[in-house]
Amino acid sequence: MTKINKIATGLAASLLLVSAAQAQETASSVATATVQNAFTLDETAAISFGTVRATADPAGTVQATMIIPANPTIDPSTPASGGAAAVMQILVPGTPGEYAVSGVAPFTSLTLTVPTTDVNLTGASAPPSAPKLIADTWTGYILTGPNANTVYAAANLQTDAAGEVTFAVGATLNTDDTASTTAYIDAIYSGNYDIVVAY
C-alpha cells in the first residue's frame, strides 16, 4: 500500500470515530415516588355494655363491675359486686367494639392504643348529682390477619396479604366511685373514647 493510501485509510477511520462519538441523543426524564402514610381505620361496631341494673354505693367506697371481653366468643360477666351497697346485673348482654384497618402494606405490624384513663358514661337527662358509670381496663383482641384469635400485645397487630386486619375492643364497666345519694336513672349512659392505630 502506498504512503498516500495509508494516510487516506487512517483519515477515513478517524472520521468514522469522530462521527460515532457525536451520534448521541438525550432524553430528559422525571423520577416520581408516591408517599401514602395514611390508611383507613373504620369502626364497624361500637362497644356496647348492653342493658344493666346498676346501683352505686352512696358512699363511693365499693364498686360493682361488669366485664365486656374483647374476645367476642367470651360472654360478659359480673365478677365484682359490693353486695347491697353496689350492684351490677346483666339484663341484656353487651358486645365488644369492632374495627377494620385497610390500605396498609401487606404483613405490616401496627400498634393499637386503647384508653388508659377512665371513660365516664353519663345519662343525658340525669341530674348533675347523679352517679356516673366508669369504663376502664380496655383490652384488644385480633380477629383476622396472621395473628387472628390472639389477645393484642405490642407489635402483633399485623395486616394480611391484602394489607388489612380487624380487631375488637373490650372494657370493664364500673359503678361510680364517688359519694352520691342520687340513684341511677333509667336512661342511656354514654361517653366518648378514642382508639388509635399507628405504624
Question: Which residues of the chain are under the pLDDT cut of 50?
Answer: 11, 15-17
What pLDDT is stored for residue 11 in this prediction? Answer: 47
Between CA 84 and CA 91 the distance in angstroms is 18
What pLDDT is stored for residue 181 in this prediction? Answer: 85
Each residue of 138-183: pLDDT tens digit?
A: 999 999 999 999 999 987 999 999 999 999 999 999 999 998 888 9
Between CA 36 and CA 45 the distance in angstroms is 26
What pLDDT is stored for residue 152 in this prediction? Answer: 97
What pLDDT is stored for residue 30 in this prediction? Answer: 96
What pLDDT is stored for residue 159 in this prediction? Answer: 97
What pLDDT is stored for residue 4 in this prediction? Answer: 52
| 134 contacts 174 by C-beta, under 8 angstroms | yes
What pLDDT is stored for residue 65 in this prediction? Answer: 95
What pLDDT is stored for residue 169 in this prediction? Answer: 98
Record the pTM. 0.84
What pLDDT is stored for residue 165 in this prediction? Answer: 98
What pLDDT is stored for residue 22 in this prediction? Answer: 80
**Where in the chain are the domains?**
40-178+193-198
